[in-house]
Amino acid sequence: MVINVGMLLGQVYDYVLRDICAVVGVCKEHGATSKVIVETALLSTEQIRKASELAIAAGADFIKTSTGYSTRGASEEDVKLLASIAEPAGKKVKASGGIRTAADAQKMIELGAARLGTSVGIEIAQGRQSADGFVISP
């Protein structure tokens, strides 16, 4: 689920928490993994921290950087921050968007991402070149 960024920015945290809890609850009922997408590109460090805390409080399994359709994808700083919040709570981080090479993927993993969202995952795994000309292998 994508966090309600407008409500988060408006500091209507009880609404955001209830929203996340509703989705996480359905996921748990059906044995599905829950991921809360915080759209880090749109938020300040403190807003990212608050969104992550709400996701953890709701019982989400993963905190995800972005949908990949915002102004940018995952940054190293985002992943490092999310990992510093998620890992002590026993939660995981998914870095998504902007991961174009094996080196990018490796760096995100080193910084704490347990999962990656990339449109070139097969190419990265096979050491090929992406359609837009990026050389995938490190």
Q: Are strands 113-117 and 62-64 parallel, antiparallel or unpaired?
A: unpaired
The continuous run of DSSP H or E covering 79 comes out as helix 76-86
pLDDT digits (tens, 9 = 90+) for 39-97: 999 999 999 999 999 999 999 999 999 997 888 989 999 999 999 999 999 999 999 99
Q: How confident is residue 16, by pLDDT bands cut at 50, 70 and 90?
A: very high
Contact 115, 94 (CB under 8 A): yes
Q: pTM here?
A: 0.89
Q: Is the pLDDT of residue 138 over 90?
A: no
Q: Which of 35, 91, 92, 94 is catalytic?
A: 94
What is the residue-averaged pLDDT of the chain?
92
Angle at 41 between CA 107 and CA 28, to 5 degrees: 80
Catalytic residue among 50, 64, 91, 92: 64
94 counts as catalytic: yes
Contacts of 40 by beta carbon, 8 Å cutoff, 6+ apart:
48, 65, 66, 74, 75, 78, 82
pLDDT band at 8 (very low <50, low <70, confident <90, very high): very high
* Bridge partner residues of 94 (DSSP): 64, 115
28 counts as catalytic: no
- The beta strands (E) that lie in the chain are given as 35-37, 62-64, 92-96, 113-117
Domains detected in the chain: 5-100+113-118 (3.20.20.70)
Sorting pLDDT into bands at 50, 70 and 90, what band is 35? very high
- Residue 133, C-beta contacts closer than 8 angstroms, at least 6 positions apart: none
